[in-house]
Amino acid sequence: MAKRQKHKNTAPKVVEGVQQPNSINEAAIRRFKQKRRLPSVEELVEKILAGHRVTLSRALTLIESTRNDHRELAEQVIEKCLPAAGNSIRIGITGSPGVGKSTFIEAFGLMLTRLGHKVAVLAVDPSSQVTRGSILGDKTRMANLAVDENAFIRPSPAGDSLGGVARKTREGILLCEAAGFDVVIVETVGVGQSETAVHSMVDFFLLLLLPGAGDELQGIKRGIVEMADLIAINKADGDNVLRAKQSKRAYRNALHLFPPKGNGWNPLVASCSAIEGTGMEDIWQSTQNYRKQLKESGFWENRRREQAIYWLHQSIRNTLGERFYGHPSVQQKLPDMEKAVKQGELSSFKAAKELLDLFF
Ligand code: GDP
């Protein structure tokens, strides 16, 4: 009380010569507090199921948050949305930087919304730790799709580890589906490990390549070509048309050399021009043929179930890792242990055991 008295005549009320408001705007403060209040699980779920995009964005922010109360809320929302999730085709898109991924996604997405689909675009870019998707999240790259009311674009979640970023995106897919998006595109940078993570969360994996150059030249690892369900040679326009044709033939021949996929699908090679919008319908048709074939053979559900098991284990690993490294005693002791291991005073195994004992 005394403190209050002391500050009674301080700013903002007593700046001399400046006209003061009669009172603080209570209604505005209430509105502000309401905005900051965490919505309830029911409120979030109801609005997500109704396709409310602002709420979907908000829920994704909760998924990405490091605050425990946010995470808990997000988990409950995901749980409640699960029965309404799963009804989309999840398409992973990869390719080296510059191959035309965002141009492709924009052209492909706009074609799909014209056909009456609802398209969500998510991204996995572990390099975007602080800037929240400097590479993939930049909405200006898909300016027309970003303003399409049947599309939803979300930059890559930030995170220290690929595992964490991937988990958030995987959960994001489920919420987008619950919100009624029937095509979910997951973009990846095409460098490093993110392709494998994306492959483990999508139904169909599309690799974009450039005409002419071999995969090594394009920085594509062999394993990635093997993961593809469809290879699209992009930029098949202008002077590139002939080269694109040759590349198409070369990749068709190369794919014959790979062992057949266990699900019975023979990977396809197509060409397209994202800039001219050509080849988009054929690629979409291929995804539809794929879905039909795999649903009939049972491999569609099989794969989704296997992916769910994979994510169960990933989730356990992630949570354990996060809790372990976030534990105060571990954080305190870790630098000394690292130093001791570096100087050869302690073996890695013994250090690990001591830290784990501290944790458990
Ligand atoms: P990303 O880094 O893979 O997302 O590639 P972008 O979509 O940003 O495209 C990189 C560059 O290639 C841009 O200058 C695009 O305009 C250009 N580009 C993309 N698709 C095509 C295409 O089909 N044909 C041609 N000629 N250029 C394209």
Reply yes or no on whether the pLDDT at 240 is more than 70: yes
Average pLDDT value over all residues in the chain:
87
Residues 245, 187 share a domain: yes
Q: How far is ligand 1, taken at its centre, from the CA of residue 58, in Å?
A: 31
pLDDT of residue 317: 87
Q: How far is ligand 1, taken at its centre, from the CA of residue 235, in Å?
A: 7
Residues 150, 268 share a domain: yes
Q: How far is ligand 1, taken at its centre, from the CA of residue 100, in Å?
A: 4
Q: Is 10 inside any structural domain?
A: no
Residues 328, 231 share a domain: no
Per the structure, the count of domains in the chain is: 3
Question: Domain containing 44: what range?
Answer: 38-84
Residues 344, 267 share a domain: no
Reply yes or no on whether the pLDDT at 10 is more than 50: no
CATH number at residue 64: 1.20.5.170
Reply yes or no on whether the pLDDT at 36 is more than 70: no
pLDDT of residue 14: 54
Residues 145, 96 share a domain: yes
Reply yes or no on whether the pLDDT at 133 is more than 50: no
Whether ligand 1 lies within 6 angstroms of the CB of 95 is answered as yes
Whether ligand 1 lies within 6 angstroms of the CB of 100 is answered as yes
Last residue of a domain, one of 249, 274, 296: 296
pLDDT of residue 254: 84
Whether ligand 1 lies within 6 angstroms of the CB of 248 is answered as no
Residues 269, 170 share a domain: yes
pLDDT of residue 191: 65
Query: Which amino acid appears at position 208 of this protein?
Result: L
**For residue 216, what pLDDT band results from cuts at 50, 70 and 90?**
low
Higher confidence at residue 223 or residue 229? 229
Reply yes or no on whether the pLDDT at 217 is more than 70: no
pLDDT of residue 35: 60
Whose C-alpha lies nearest to ligand 1, atom 17?
A: 100
CATH number at residue 269: 3.40.50.300
Residues 44, 175 share a domain: no
Instruction: Give percent of the chain above pLDDT 90.
Output: 61
Q: How far is ligand 1, taken at its centre, from the CA of residue 55, in Å?
A: 32
Q: What is the pLDDT of residues 183-201, one digit of tens each?
A: 999 998 766 678 888 999 9
Enter the pTM of the model.
Answer: 0.84
Reply yes or no on whether the pLDDT at 134 is more than 90: no
Higher confidence at residue 27 or residue 36? 27
Whose C-alpha lies nearest to ligand 1, atom 12?
A: 100
Whether ligand 1 lies within 6 angstroms of the CB of 200 is answered as no
Q: Is 61 inside any structural domain?
A: yes
Q: How far is ligand 1, taken at its centre, from the CA of residue 99, in Å?
A: 6
Q: How far is ligand 1, taken at its centre, from the CA of residue 104, in Å?
A: 8
Residues 290, 162 share a domain: yes
